[in-house]
Amino acid sequence: MAKKSGKYQAVVIGVSAGGIAALEKILPVLPEDFGLALLVVQHISADGGNYLVEHFSASCALEVVEAADKERIQQGTVYFAPPNYHLLVERAKTTALTVDAKVNYARPSADVLFETAAEAYCDALIGIVLTGANNDGAAGLARIKQLGGLTIVQSPKSAEATVMPMAALKALTVDHVLDLEEIGPFLVTLATKREE
C-alpha cells in the first residue's frame, strides 16, 4: 500500500535518445511504497510493442504498466505511453490516449503529457526532462512551472543526447538541474516530505 505523500501526487517524465539507460538509473531506485504516480513518455518506434513494460517490470519495485484509455491514475504505479499514442491526463486524473498529429515529430509526445498533466495536477506535479535529441518536453515543462509544479532537468553533461535537456533549460528557469544518479533519490525525498 502506497503511503500518503506530502505535497506531490504525480511525476511526469519525458525522454528520448538514451532513454532506456537513463530510466534504468531512476525507476529501479524507487521503493515499493513510493507514494506518487509516474507517467512516462519514451520516444519509441510505432511497432515497439510492450518492450518497455516488460523490461522495467523485471527491475522495479513499483507496478509498471502500459497506459490504457480512461484509466484512473493510481499512486505507486509507472505508466508508459503506448507506442504511437499520445498519453494525456484528464482533469479527473484519468488517462486518455489519442492518435492526434505528432508533436515535435513524436507520438507519444512529452509536451502533450506535460501540458495536460499540469492542468490536472497544478502544483502537485513534478516534471522531468531527460536525455533526448529533439525539443520535446521544453514547452510542457514551462507549463508545469507556470502552474506551480516542480521542474527537474537532467544535467546535459550526464545526458547521452543533450538537445532535450538543453531545450528545456533555454525555455524556462528550472527548479533543479541534477545528474542522472541524483534524480531517483531526490524523488524519494520529495515523495516522503510532508508539507510544512
pLDDT digits (tens, 9 = 90+) for 81-135: 999 999 999 999 999 999 999 998 899 999 999 999 999 999 999 999 999 999 9
Q: Judge whether 100 counts as a catalytic residue.
A: no
The single residue of 5, 43, 109, 111 carrying the catalytic annotation is 43
d(CA 111, CA 192): 27
d(CA 121, CA 7): 11
Half-sphere exposure of 185 (CA within 13 A, CB side): 5
The single residue of 5, 109, 111, 136 carrying the catalytic annotation is 136
pTM for the predicted model, two decimal places: 0.94
Q: Judge whether 16 counts as a catalytic residue.
A: yes
The single residue of 16, 86, 109, 111 carrying the catalytic annotation is 16
pLDDT digits (tens, 9 = 90+) for 131-178: 999 999 999 999 999 999 999 999 999 999 999 999 999 999 999 999
Architecture per CATH, domain 10-192, reads as 3-Layer(aba) Sandwich (3.40)
pLDDT digits (tens, 9 = 90+) for 44-75: 877 777 889 999 999 999 999 999 999 999 99
Q: Judge whether 43 counts as a catalytic residue.
A: yes
Domain map (residue ranges) of the chain: 10-192
